[in-house]
Structure 1
């Protein structure tokens, strides 16, 4: 491996362009070797001022570009399966933004392909596992000081939904982060989901079921509820309270800049995930680069990505049917413990 890990970034939209900046300006031990995006003009703008980067319209061409030793996938979810399998065929380590693959069947094909290799190459970008507050909560729960966790109360609010955002995407895009966070915090699989539909906000686009109240059951008997509201209008807020046998713990109240003037007080609220989780993204990518340079793969696995897609798929079914829906997972390959 070269002195600086050569990374191909696939997809340079909002998330991918931020990762290009991160690899170039924040993370140590890596460089952007190639980028791929169907909009090559956008790709060129994303790497303006970054030396030694080749620009491609096709993902596979970027994987085969000189100097590429690892891959960061930030393209839309439907493109992930092909890119992951191509990276596996070349033996390239991958950090893949969530979802691993939107449909559980495709995610399972990725899991099975990696299992056939007999070694892990993929890490899934569930960045909350690298957030300072989530890490403290995980340590507290694992330490047992509060006793067994009984419930998690979660909130997930956005300023507004982007064009084309559907009612199903509140579950399979937004709540997918809570799905992984709950599995990780509790160390339990999610086994059933119910979605309740309060009346939609007047701020939601026509036909969008927003907000939603999502209730998960776990294999260990705990409950996880999520209030997801993607057109709150005021800011990006993520919170989680763990209710345990001997106490509670809550995250998401991190203090921001507070301005006092003219007889009033104003506290800033983050406006999107790149602001709220900036530190988590930095820590996630740095950890991935360090592990890759050391020949290891850590963090959320392809199995975690598959499980999240399967649970989200059941959640969409529950949203559409109005009924409690069970989650059925395939047998876990030995590669994932």
Structure 2
């Protein structure tokens, strides 16, 4: 039996998820769609024979919807996720779980009242083969304990409605989560440094930025965030440990050598770079829904990332490079 899935807010990433569920993955089928724009919902639903619902509540309550994927605008996430929890239906929520820690706490409270895990957050880097292999090396102990981590997150361009804080909450949130995943510990402080700004940006934006994080065991993490580099989507991660360093490898299938030198092509966007990770992420989620046990990134992970983002945004908006503490609640046993 296929898992019958309803999609709430099918924008770019939502349509990509529909395509992979329909064309590439097993045991899942999109049967329902809703969007703030009914005409858009109809255009998305027609090619796959899905039913269009007037709103998220109607979709969630539909008897032929087994599980829900939320890909709407971040501020709308809380309501949809809580409705799915209260209906007892598994819900995959694209990052962020919600824009603020307070909203994430309310989602966690609803999930705990329900008595079982139903929420998975779309932190797809955990499903990337490179990051998974990097974590396996660290967990083996072969290189000793991690001391520092260097990251880069470069995009070719950002639109005019990409606002200042989004460098942290929309872009660096991926590094924030994957650092917690790789190192197995929480982040306790955040600081933002502002280098010279590129001319290839809208005037309201500081770009590039360097986000500096520190973990409970004092691992120092830097994240270069550069969202108008003009050349491509360029992701890097290197962990410097006691007896060696471990880094993501070449992210392209081939390296070309010739009279012009040696080169490889850079991915154009996140879909190209992380296509395999997205596929693995959603396939594992579908499998977990069928098995009746959600095991991917949890509401706690969404909350922890949101609190780090809050501290990073505070530093970004402060005068100078101020460090702010990351103050998490005690982790509930429910998420142990």
Structure 2: distance between partners of 1:214 and 1:187: 19
- Listed as ranges, the gaps of 5+ residues in structure 1 are none
- 1:266-289 C-alpha deviation (Å, 9 max, x unpaired): 532111101100000000000000
Asked if 1 retains the 8 angstrom alpha-carbon contact of 2:32 and 2:45, the reply is no
Equivalent in 124, 128, 131 of residue 128 of structure 2: 131
Asked if 2 retains the 8 angstrom alpha-carbon contact of 1:54 and 1:65, the reply is no
Tell me which residue corresponds to 1:19: 17
- 1:93-115 C-alpha deviation (Å, 9 max, x unpaired): 01110000111110111111111
Structure 1: distance between partners of 2:73 and 2:124: 17
Equivalent in 118, 136, 149 of residue 121 of structure 1: 118
| Superposed displacement of residue 264, structure 1 | 6.3
- 1:27-81 C-alpha deviation (Å, 9 max, x unpaired): 1001001011112222222233213x11124111211234100011111110100
Tell me which residue corresponds to 2:324: 325
Tell me which residue corresponds to 2:266: 269
- 1:107-145 C-alpha deviation (Å, 9 max, x unpaired): 111111111222100010100000000000011111111
Map 1:57-72 onto structure 2 (within 5 A): 57-72=54-69
Asked if 2 retains the 8 angstrom alpha-carbon contact of 1:20 and 1:47, the reply is no
Tell me which residue corresponds to 1:295: 292
Asked if 1 retains the 8 angstrom alpha-carbon contact of 2:151 and 2:237, the reply is yes
Give the TM-score, by structure 1 length: 0.96
Give the TM-score, by structure 2 length: 0.96
Provide closer, same or farther for how the CA distance between residues 226 and 29 of structure 1 changes in structure 2, counting only shifts above 3 A: same
| Superposed displacement of residue 259, structure 1 | 5.4
- Listed as ranges, the gaps of 5+ residues in structure 2 are none
Tell me which residue corresponds to 2:42: 44
Q: Secondary structure at the match of 1:167?
A: coil
Q: Secondary structure at the match of 2:83?
A: helix
Equivalenced residue count is 334
Answering whether residue 212 of structure 2 is matched by residue 215 of structure 1, we say yes
Map 1:84-99 onto structure 2 (within 5 A): 84-99=81-96
